[in-house]
Amino acid sequence: MSIAGAAIIWIALLGPVITLITRMSPGDIWTALTGAGNLDPLLTSIESGLVTLGVLLLLCTPLAWMLARDRLPFPRIWEAGILCSLLLPPLVIGLLLVFMVGPYTWVGSVLDWVHQSATNTFLALVIAEVYESAPYYVLGARAAFASVDTGLEQQAGLLGDRPGRVFRRVTLPMAAPGLAMALAVSWARAIGAFGAVVIIAYHPFGIPMQIFTTLQETGLYSALPYALVLLVVALPLPMAAYVWSARAERRRRG
Amino acid sequence: MYGARVLSVDVEVDRREFTVRAALEVADGERVALFGPSGAGKTTVLEAIAGLVTLRGHVSLSDRVLTSTSEHVDVPPWRRRVGLLRQDPGLFPHLSVRANLLYARSAREDELAELAAQLDIAALLSAMPARLSGGQRHRVALGRLLLAHCDALLLDEPFASLDAALRRSLTALVKDISSERMVASVLVTHQLADAQAFADRLAVIDEGLILQIGAPDEVVLRPASRRVAELVGYLGFVPAGGAPGSAAGVVAGVHPERVIAGADPDRGLVVTGTVTAARPSGAGWEADVLAGDATFTCRLPSRPVAQLAVTVLDPPYFAADGVLLTPGQHIRSA
């Protein structure tokens, strides 16, 4: 394929972003963002996105490592489970979450007992974002761990490192670029989560919900500035992960 | 200075095809080569010593019991102080050469400069492993094991992917260093020349069993059985009928490099035969010879004639069951 062909495809893929930028004037953006409480959805999205990343790192990283290292019995069944949750449409995830953690379930009862709720709360928003982004993180992290040569881990062990130190000194640094990319993809999924969110976490508003309600209440043009904000907020982390991964790779090549 | 240590191995490891059974003792500073064909179980023995496979039996290094099924002892690999160098040198790609060399917690920085100079890698300390040649990577990996103060060196065909000259120089380097540091070393290889160049003793292993252990010359010139002879390069067995008074079924092993043209009964067994194929080999010729019902291969300095008489120099004789006969036994047993 020629460079011109590649450029056409690239521009076509960027079409929505280009449209977004060209459709707005600085005045539109200023008006949208300076209104009272207009930045609240942005803060909500950032906070819930960061908490989601923390949950993924803490809970899903060990699972991804165990999948990559065949530490689980019947590994194909475990992987099939992850794929199932990946294939479920976000809207369906939201519907099912209502039956799983909603107020009339035993989880809901337990949460109610500690004065919490998994519907229309910050907790609900995080749960929805976790369910929408976790499969992407698990599969990405699994691939990152699988790319680390087990022979190197074995060598580190023979040089005197216990398994925990091997993980910290060899496995993690070597898988880090892949983990960073998996985290970046999950971040994009979390911060842009809508399907599950609209069912179980209509409130508090994150940016996607703000776009949806603005679109419904005041029309297409009013929603676009929030879309730009979403892009601007979501982009730095994936970009940083990409740049850092490329630098780590260059460093390894000497 | 290192204390006296003896590596003692007596293990059984189940594999899909067969059970590897190996008993081996390596003295302080001694070098033993485990030689055998691919899939014979050589690497399994090293992995058993390193604690990387499940086994039955006993492994000890000096006064430390590393594995003992009877005593329910199984020291994990990270506490064994056993260094393993494989064909892939296993350098950590995210660390510089210097960081690789100092990876082990037991590595001492004050030893780094001297060792780096000895291994000719002093100029590479700040480089990343990806920039190194194959030989340099192996030198760094070796240095890393030495700085880790391993009590035993396990070498799993480490230089097999390198060219012959580099392989020779690295083998000599490891040999010198293991002698100097008095470290027990075990080399696994399927290249007989590498084994001979490295080892004080040669152990021939096939289908999981050690068939013979001895000085390299002894094993090559007096293989304990026909199978060992085949493994160390004997390319034919001829009836010992040429030797006066030979017993029925006794055969002489023909090593292609221990054959001279012409009949010289004082130096060995004279065999006559027909050359069925001849091809250039190195500075001379290699010929396939049919002698009666037997065939053998030999190397000769010049192109062989169709009808050939050769002398197999002091060949080993094997009884009908394949066991080596002691010198003269093939005649006495007649």
pTM (predicted TM-score):
0.83
Give residue limits of the domains in chain A.
40-252
Mind telling me how many Å the CA of A250 is from chain B's nearest CA? Answer: 10
Please, which pLDDT band fits residue A230 given cuts at 50, 70 and 90?
confident
B78 and A162 in contact by Cβ < 8 A?
yes
CB contact under 8 A, A154 and B88: no
Query: Which stretch of A156-170, A172-186, B160-174, B231-245 has the lowest confidence by average pLDDT?
Result: B231-245
Q: Cis ω on the peptide bond leading into residue A204 (within 30° of 0)?
A: yes
Size of interface A-B (CB pairs under 8 A): 63
pLDDT value of position A85:
87
Give the confidence band of A224 by pLDDT, cuts at 50, 70, 90. confident
Are A160 and B84 a contacting pair at CB < 8 A? Answer: no
The proportion of chain B whose per-residue pLDDT surpasses 70, expressed as a percent, equals 94
Of the listed ranges A155-164, B164-173, B274-283, the one predicted with least confidence = B164-173
CATH superfamily of B7-224: P-loop containing nucleotide triphosphate hydrolases (3.40.50.300)
More confident call, B241 vs A176:
A176
Q: Which of A144-153, B126-135, B319-328 is predicted least confidently?
A: B319-328
pLDDT band at residue B334, thresholds of 50, 70 and 90?
Answer: very low
User: Residue A85: how many CB atoms within 10 A of its CB?
Assistant: 13
Chain B residues touching chain A at CB-CB below 8 Å: 50, 52, 76-84, 86, 88, 90, 92-94, 103-106, 127-131, 144-145, 148
The Cα–Cα gap between B204 and B223 comes to: 10
Is residue B287 within a helix (H) or strand (E), and if so which, with residue range? strand B284-291
User: Right CATH number for A40-252 from 1.10.3720.10, 3.10.20.30, 3.20.20.140, 1.20.120.80?
Assistant: 1.10.3720.10
Mean model confidence pLDDT for chain A: 91
pLDDT at B329 (0 to 100) = 64
Q: What is the pLDDT of residue B88?
A: 92
- Over 50: is that where the pLDDT of B2 sits? no
- Which range among A36-40, A175-179, B89-93 shows the weakest confidence by mean pLDDT? A36-40
Q: Is the pLDDT of residue B174 over 60?
A: yes
Specify the pLDDT at position A100: 94
Which residues, 6 or more positions from A250, have their beta carbon under 8 angstroms from its beta carbon?
none
Q: What whole-number distance in Å separates Cα of residue B313 and Cα of residue B233? A: 15
Asked whether residue A166 carries a pLDDT value surpassing 90, the answer given is yes
Mean pLDDT in residue range A48-61: 96
Contact B78, A160 (CB under 8 A): yes
With contacts defined as CB-CB under 8 Å, which chain A residues touch B79? Answer: 160
Tell me: pLDDT of B228 over 60: yes
Residue B313 has pLDDT above 70, yes or no: yes
Minimum mean pLDDT range among A130-134, A221-225, B148-152, B307-311: A221-225
Q: Which of A133-142, A163-172, B295-304 has the lowest mean pLDDT?
A: B295-304
- CA angle centred on A35, ends A190 and A122, rounded to 5°: 30
Q: What is the DSSP letter of B244?
A: T
B145 contacts on A by Cβ (under 8 Å): 159
pLDDT tens-digit map of B36-59? 999 999 999 999 999 999 999 999
| Interface list for chain A against chain B, based on CB atoms closer than 8 Å | 149, 151-152, 154-163, 169-170, 173-174, 248, 251-254
For chain B, the domains span 7-224, 228-332
Q: How far is B106 from chain A, CA to nearest CA, in Å?
A: 8
Predicted pLDDT at B181: 84
Q: Which of A190, A234, A198 is nearest to A57 (CA)?
A: A190
Which string of b and e fits B245-257 if b means at least 16 CB within 10 Å?
ebbeebbbbbbbe
Structure-token pair, residue B72: 């329910």
Per-residue confidence (pLDDT) for residue B28, from 0 to 100: 87
Q: Which residues in chain A have Cβ-Cβ distances shorter than 8 Å to B144?
A: 159
pLDDT of residue B333: 47
- Residue B1's pLDDT band (cuts 50, 70, 90): very low
Residue B167 confidence (pLDDT) above 90: no
Query: Cα distance from B221 to chain A (closest Cα, Å)?
Result: 37
CA distance A191 to A51: 11
pLDDT on residue B188? 95
Confidence of residue B332 (pLDDT cuts 50, 70, 90): low
**Contacting residues of A for B92, CB less than 8 Å apart:** 152, 156, 170, 174
Mean model confidence pLDDT for chain B: 90
Residue A88: pLDDT band (50, 70, 90) is very high
Predicted confidence at residue B3, as pLDDT, reads 44
Residue B160 phi, psi (nearest 5): -60, -30
Selecting from A162, A170, A253 the residue whose C-beta is nearest the C-beta of B92 gives: A170
